[in-house]
């Protein structure tokens, strides 16, 4: 059972997972193609950040960035290595979608990587109804990025 809660990013476990997430992005994409948010940017107004826990173990994290009244962007989705393939990513994605609906967001957008390391994420997003689209917001075409959206 996963317990998802709004997180202020002050705990050591969540800071370690954010650090792991950023390192993973840099391992699989050139620096100019890494769009993951660091701790300070995850704390900015307009961003809601959640952590998912299995007992006292951090399992997953995810964030929603409000783009405007009708649009939101999924940011910083990452499953802790010990929980890969166990449904934590899907649970967080479903939580973010439900929260976005509750906020009145009509369309969710995301940017993820295009290399083999991102195939599990791409499959998750596709299975949840996200479709590949063009760049949005301030993004530009990039061979290391895949842009997706889902109308809610």
- The SS3 of residue 117 is helix
Q: Across the 152 residues of the chain, what is the mean pLDDT of every consecutive 10-residue run?
A: 95 97 91 93 97 97 97 97 96 98 98 95 97 96 96 98
Dist. CA 52–CA 126, nearest whole Å? 22
* Separation in Å, CA 21 to CA 36, 108, 135: 8, 21, 22
CA 124 to chain centre: 12
DSSP class of residue 152 equals -
State pTM to two decimals.
0.95
User: Treating both helix axes as pointing N-terminal to C-terminal, what angle do 88-102 and 119-127 enclose, rounded to 10 degrees?
Assistant: 50
> Which residues, 6 or more positions from 145, have their beta carbon under 8 angstroms from its beta carbon?
33, 35, 111, 112, 113, 114, 135, 139
Q: Give residue 4's pLDDT.
A: 98
Dist. CA 115–CA 137, nearest whole Å? 22
Q: Give residue 1's pLDDT.
A: 81
Characterise 112 by phi-psi region: left (phi > 0), alpha (psi -120 to 50), beta (else). beta
């Amino acid at each position: 059972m996963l317990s998802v809660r709004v997180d202020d990013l002050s705990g050591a476990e969540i800071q370690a997972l954010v650090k792991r997430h950023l390192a993973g992005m840099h391992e699989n994409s050139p620096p100019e193609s890494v769009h993951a948010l660091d701790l300070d940017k995850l704390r900015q107004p307009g961003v809601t950040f959640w952590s998912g826990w299995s007992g006292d173990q951090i399992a997953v994290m995810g964030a929603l960035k409000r783009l405007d009244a009708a649009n939101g962007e999924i940011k910083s989705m990452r499953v802790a290595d010990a929980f890969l393939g166990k449904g934590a990513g899907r649970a967080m994605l479903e939580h973010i979608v439900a929260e976005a609906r509750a906020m009145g967001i009509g369309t969710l957008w995301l940017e993820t990587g295009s290399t083999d390391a991102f195939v599990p994420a791409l499959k998750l997003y596709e299975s949840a109804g996200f479709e590949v689209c063009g760049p949005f917001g301030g993004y530009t075409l990039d061979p290391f990025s895949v842009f997706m959206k889902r109308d809610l």
